Amino acid sequence: MLRINTDILPQTCLTYLAFRVSFRETYERILLARQVNEEAEGFGFLTEVPFLKAVPPHVQLDLLAETWKKHSGRRRSNASLVDESVVYAACETAARIVDDEPQMISHFLDSGPTEFTLAVDRSLSAQLRSLHLNLSNEGDFLLISQFEDTHPDEARWLKDEFELDNARFESMFEVLGRWHFSPDFDANLKLLLTDREIARIASVFPRREARDGSHSEA
C-alpha cells in the first residue's frame, strides 16, 4: 500500500488502469523509436512532471514499476516525491489518452492480468484526474522545477516560504542521474503485467551484471 501524506492510494481498477496504460504507452513508444532508429528520449509518461522531463523513457518504466510494487503490496510504504510524481503523471497520461485516443485504452488493457469493466468515456478521464487530486499531497514535485534557474539565495527564501523539506527533494535529483534498470524491475511488474508480457519485456531490455555487481542495460 502506498501512503501519500495521510491517504492511501486506492487499490482499485482505476489505479491499475492509470499505471498499466502509462507503462504500455511509454513502452510502445520506445519500441517505435527503435524501429525508426531514433533516440529514445524526450517522451514518456513522466514528462508530465517538468522537473523529470529528462529522465530516459526506460528509466521512467523502472520508476513506475517501483511505485507500482509499493502500491500493490500489502505492507504500507510512505511515498517519496518520486512516487508522488509517478502517480500524478500516470493519472494525467491515462486521462489524456482517454480524451484523445479512447480506442487505445482497450489496446493497452487487452490480455492484462486484471479485467477492466468501466466505460471509456469523458467521465473516466475525470475520475482518473480526481484520483490524484483527491490525495493529500501538496504538489511539491511540481514546485521544484521553479528552483532550477533561480539564484541560490532566492531559491532558499522560496523554499523557506513554502516550508519545503530539502531532504525530500533528494530522490528527485537522484533519478535525474539514473540510467540502469534496478535489479527488481521484472519482479516489480507483477500484477501490472502478465508473466508473458514481463518475459517479452525482459527480452527487449536484456540486462547483464556489470563489473561492479550492479545491473545495467545491455
SS3 28: helix
Amino acid at 76: R
Is 210 or 48 the better-scoring residue by pLDDT? 48
SS3 210: coil
Tens of pLDDT, residue by residue over 153-197, are 554 555 555 555 666 778 888 898 899 999 999 999 999 999 999
Check residue 168 and give its pLDDT. Answer: 73
Q: Alpha-carbon distance 196 to 171, whole Å? A: 32
Residue 98 to residues 1, 26, 108, 119, Cα–Cα distance (Å): 26, 15, 11, 10
Q: Is the pLDDT of residue 11 over 60?
A: yes
SS3 190: strand
Three cell numbers at 210? 556489470
Report whether 118 contacts 43 (CB < 8 A).
Answer: no
pTM over 0.95: no
Which candidate, 69, 71, 27, places its Cα nearest to that of 45? 27
CB-neighbour burial class of residue 182 (10 A; exposed 0-12, middle 13-18, buried 19+): middle
Which candidate, 50, 137, 46, 159, places its Cα nearest to that of 92? 46
Residue 215 is inside which H or E element, if any?
Answer: strand 215-217
Q: Alpha-carbon distance 118 to 110, whole Å? A: 14
Tens of pLDDT, residue by residue over 24-71, are 999 999 999 988 877 767 899 999 999 899 999 999 999 999 999 999
Q: Alpha-carbon distance 29 to 44, whole Å? A: 8
- Strands in 19-147 per DSSP E: 77-78
Q: Alpha-carbon distance 133 to 61, whole Å? A: 23
Residue 208 is inside which H or E element, if any?
Answer: strand 207-209
